[in-house]
């Protein structure tokens, strides 16, 4: 009945469906959730677009990717400038001259460099054996203790001394007063929310929500010539070699009607270890909202267990070796295409998912998408 069964309505699946339909292919796209968009879905609460599965801020330096998305929706000028809250002390992120001035009272870049170098030299770490030593060897003790240690330990659910050093092979440090978190040329939030992008991509595509691929796998696979799978690759193979590990997230969302501006910024990170959540998102600031009241979400990292939502692949040596076993099976498939963060067990930002999807489309459908723009 179909050329492609596409499992998952996130960016990868939606892009593949959109381009396949342009090539006159018949597609069926399914999702186990009751909405489109995967983790970029926004839920309208009190007139505010709430990022239901965590903050999603689009950024890229690839003009082709930027132009591709802009055919579906216009972006606003939102710039990601998160704030760090360490036990009531407020610092700018990423680490820059505003941060250093607050920490040490320094004014010039040279003074900041000297302060960091002095702390690095005093620590005397030659070969970092873990994340803690790696961070101190890069930015010194003060920044590590106040702005890295607690946040990282909450994010990963284990002590920094027990985490491998490669997790932070580099730490962005700026010796200027620029609070823009990203270095990319293009950045913003879709005007009207991310849902508009997915809805426009899937125009003309048959969609079935509340449809779990694994509950009716044989029948669903029999409907199409090929399957595009964006779920967990280990689940696709019934965990044949074992479970891949992920970090998960829980969100506590609150509607605050008596306050129009809860924290003055879209993203505030809580970098002490004692605060149980890693950050608070105030959603209206993504779109410069002036609505009465506000909506905030507290973000709690957690260990992933079967049945929870997987968010972040844990790409350590053990898991990467396990994934390679699954990839051997995936590469041998003639009628299955794997994509997205879960299908390829990679930590992708949105622009990377889009690039990966378009490369897959070009290879599968024999079209040159970027050359058409």
Q: Which of 279, 287, 311, 326 is catalytic?
A: 279
Catalytic entry in 41, 144, 174, 245: 174
* Residue 299 a catalytic site member: yes
Is 331 catalytic? The answer is: no
Q: For the packed helices 109-123 and 131-139, what is the interaxial angle rounded to 10 degrees?
A: 140
The Cα–Cα gap between 143 and 289 comes to 33
What Cα–Cα distance (Å) separates residue 73 from each residue in 9, 37, 83, 156, 310? 17, 15, 28, 35, 28
**Annotated catalytic residue: which of 3, 43, 212, 349?**
349
State the number of CA atoms in the 13 A half-sphere of 370 facing the CB.
14
**Active-site hit among 177, 237, 239, 347:** 347
Q: Which two tokens stand for residue 268?
A: 């505030």
Catalytic residue from among 142, 184, 247, 362: 247
Is 129 a residue of the active site? no
Residues 41, 299, 345, 348: which is the catalytic one? 299
Whether 234 is catalytic is no
* Cα–Cα distance for residue pair 235/218, rounded to 1 Å: 15
CA distance 182 to 258: 33
What's the order of all strands across the beta sheet hosting 224-229?
206-208, 27-30, 2-7, 224-229, 336-338
For residue 4, indicate whether it is catalytic.
no
The yes-or-no answer on residue 347 being catalytic is yes
- Catalytic residue status for 170: yes
| CB contact at 8 A, 55 and 194 | no
Q: Pick the catalytic residue from 170, 238, 274, 368.
A: 170
Which residues are catalytic, by number? 170, 174, 247, 279, 299, 347, 349
């Amino acid at each position: 009945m179909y050329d492609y069964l596409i499992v998952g309505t996130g960016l990868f699946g939606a892009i593949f469906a959109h381009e396949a339909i342009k090539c006159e292919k018949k597609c069926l796209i399914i999702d186990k959730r009751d909405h489109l968009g995967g983790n970029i879905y926004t839920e309208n609460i009190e007139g505010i677009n709430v990022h239901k599965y965590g903050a999603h801020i689009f950024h890229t330096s690839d003009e082709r990717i930027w132009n591709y998305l802009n055919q579906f929706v216009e972006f606003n000028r939102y710039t990601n400038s998160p704030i760090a809250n360490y036990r009531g002390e407020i610092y700018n992120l990423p680490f820059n001259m505003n941060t250093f001035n607050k920490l040490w009272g320094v004014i010039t870049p040279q003074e900041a460099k000297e302060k960091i170098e002095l702390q690095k030299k005093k620590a005397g770490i030659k070969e970092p054996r873990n994340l803690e030593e790696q961070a101190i060897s890069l930015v010194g003790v003060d920044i590590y203790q106040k702005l890295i240690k607690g946040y990282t330990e909450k994010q990963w659910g284990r002590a920094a001394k027990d985490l491998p050093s490669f997790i932070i092979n580099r730490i962005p440090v700026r010796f200027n007063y620029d609070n823009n978190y990203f270095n990319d040329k293009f950045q913003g939030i879709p005007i009207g929310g991310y849902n508009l992008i997915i809805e426009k991509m899937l125009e003309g595509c048959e969609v079935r929500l509340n449809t779990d691929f694994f509950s009716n796998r044989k029948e669903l696979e029999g409907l199409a010539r090929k399957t595009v799978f964006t779920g967990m690759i280990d689940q696709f193979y019934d965990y044949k070699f074992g479970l891949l590990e992920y970090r998960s997230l829980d969100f506590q969302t609150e509607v605050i009607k008596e306050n129009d501006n809860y924290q003055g910024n879209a993203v505030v990170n809580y970098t002490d270890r004692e605060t149980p959540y890693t950050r608070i998102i105030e959603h209206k600031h993504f779109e410069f909202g002036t609505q009465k009241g506000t909506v905030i979400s507290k973000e709690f990292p957690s260990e992933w267990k079967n049945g929870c939502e997987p968010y972040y692949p844990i790409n350590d040596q053990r898991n990467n070796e396990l994934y390679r076993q699954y990839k051997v099976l995936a590469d041998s498939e003639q009628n299955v295409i794997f994509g997205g963060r879960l299908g390829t067990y990679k930590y992708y930002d949105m622009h990377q998912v889009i690039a990966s999807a378009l490369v897959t489309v070009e290879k599968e459908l024999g079209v040159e998408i970027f050359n058409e723009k």
